[in-house]
C-alpha cells in the first residue's frame, strides 16, 4: 500500500519510548542536593528533559556558578546510572516499533541522551537492530536546533518533508518545525499538555496505543 505521508519516523527516547521521566527528575534533584544547591521543583526539572545534559543543567539552574555545571553533570550521571537498569519501555512500544519496521518505514531516534547512554539503553531494551539511524546530543547541536533531523535524513537519503518527529517535549516539536518536518506530540512524558499545545503538531497522543493507531492509519 502506498505511503500516506511519511517514509521516515523519528522518535525521541526518554519520555516517548522509555518510561524514564520521573527517574531523570529525581536524578537532577539528587545531584543538586549532593552539591548543596537549591533543589529544582519537579516541573523545572522535567522541562529540561530532551536537551543535552550540559544544556539541561544550564537551563534548570541558570544562575549557578558555571564551574558547578560539570559537577552537576557528574552527580546526575551517578544517580541516573543507579536506576538505569530498572527502566522499561512504555507498554506497547515494542509492538508498535516491530509493526512499523515490518511495514518498511525507516525508523530513527533523536535524543538528548549521550551516545554511550543511548547505546546502553537500546541494548538493554533489545532494540539495537530496530532503528536505521540514531543521533545524540553529544554528537551535534541540541534540540530544538534542526541538526539532528537534518543529519538523519541525509544519512538515510530521506526527505524532511516526508519525515515526522515524535516526542514528549516542546524541544522535540520545535526541532521538527525548525527542520521542516512533521511533528506528533505524546502527552504521557515530560511536558504538560498545555505546553505541548503551544507548538504545531499533526496529532497529540495520550497513550502509546493512540500513537500506534494514528501511525497505522495516517503515517
Task: Name the average pLDDT for the chain.
Answer: 96
161-176 residues labelled b (16+ CB within 10 A) or e (exposed): eebbbbbbbbbbbbbb
pLDDT per residue as tens digits for the range 166-188: 999 999 999 999 999 999 999 99
Which of 14, 19, 168, 172 is an active site residue? 14
Domains and CATH numbers, the chain: 8-20+88-218 (3.40.50.1000), 21-85 (1.10.150)
Q: How far apart, in whole angstroms, are the C-alpha atoms of residue 142 and residue 56? A: 10
Clarify whether 14 is annotated catalytic: yes
Check if the beta carbon of residue 87 is closer than 8 Å to that of residue 20: yes
Q: How far apart, in whole angstroms, are the C-alpha atoms of residue 208 and residue 36? A: 38
4 pLDDT band, cuts 50/70/90, is confident
Q: What's the average model confidence in pLDDT over 157-172?
A: 98
Which of 12, 19, 168, 172 is an active site residue? 12
Residue 204 has phi, psi (to 5 degrees) of: -130, 115
Q: How far apart, in whole angstroms, are the C-alpha atoms of residue 180 and residue 161? A: 6
Q: What's the average model confidence in pLDDT over 58-77?
A: 94
According to the model, what pLDDT value does residue 137 have? 94
The answer for residues whose C-beta is within 8 angstroms of residue 46's C-beta and 6 or more apart is 21, 24, 25, 190, 191
Asked if pLDDT for residue 1 goes beyond 60, the answer is no
Asked if pLDDT for residue 2 goes beyond 60, the answer is no
Question: What pTM, to 2 d.p., does this model score?
Answer: 0.95
Between the alpha carbon of residue 159 and those of residues 13, 30, 75, 151, the distances in Å are 22, 42, 40, 11
Q: How far apart, in whole angstroms, are the C-alpha atoms of residue 72 and residue 80? A: 12
Instruction: Single out the residue of 115, 119, 93 nearest to residue 186, CA to CA.
Output: 93
pLDDT per residue as tens digits for the range 126-142: 999 999 999 999 999 99
Task: Give the total residue count for the chain.
Answer: 219
Clarify whether 84 is annotated catalytic: no
How many other C-beta atoms can be found within 10 angstroms of the C-beta atom of residue 211?
25
Mapping DSSP to helix (H, G, I), strand (E, B) and coil, where does residue 60 land? helix
Pairing of strands 163-167, 133-136: unpaired
Amino acid at each position: 500500500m502506498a505511503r500516506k505521508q511519511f517514509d521516515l519516523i523519528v522518535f525521541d527516547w526518554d519520555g516517548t519510548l522509555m518510561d524514564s521521566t520521573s527517574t531523570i527528575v529525581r536524578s537532577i534533584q539528587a545531584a543538586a542536593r549532593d552539591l548543596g544547591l537549591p533543589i529544582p521543583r519537579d516541573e523545572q526539572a522535567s522541562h529540561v528533559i530532551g536537551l543535552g545534559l550540559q544544556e539541561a543543567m544550564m537551563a534548570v539552574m541558570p544562575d549557578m556558578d558555571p564551574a558547578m555545571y560539570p559537577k552537576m553533570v557528574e552527580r546526575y550521571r551517578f544517580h541516573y546510572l543507579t536506576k538505569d537498569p530498572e527502566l522499561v519501555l512504555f507498554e506497547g512500544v515494542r509492538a508498535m516499533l516491530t509493526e512499523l519496521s515490518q511495514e518498511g518505514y525507516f525508523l530513527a531516534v533523536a535524543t538528548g541522551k549521550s551516545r554511550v547512554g543511548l547505546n546502553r539503553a537500546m541494548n538493554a531494551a533489545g532494540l539495537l537492530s530496530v532503528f536505521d539511524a540514531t543521533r545524540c546530543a553529544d554528537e551535534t547541536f541540541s534540540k530544538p536546533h534542526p541538526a539532528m533531523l537534518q543529519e538523519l535524513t541525509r544519512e538515510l537519503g530521506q526527505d524532511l518533508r516526508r519525515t515526522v518527529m515524535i516526542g514528549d517535549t516542546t524541544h522535540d516539536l520545535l526541532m521538527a518545525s525548525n527542520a521542516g518536518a512533521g511533528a506528533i506530540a505524546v502527552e504521557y512524558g515530560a511536558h504538560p499538555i498545555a505546553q505541548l499545545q503551544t507548538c504545531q503538531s499533526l496529532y497529540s497522543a495520550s497513550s502509546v496505543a493512540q500513537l500506534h493507531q494514528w501511525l497505522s492509519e495516517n503515517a
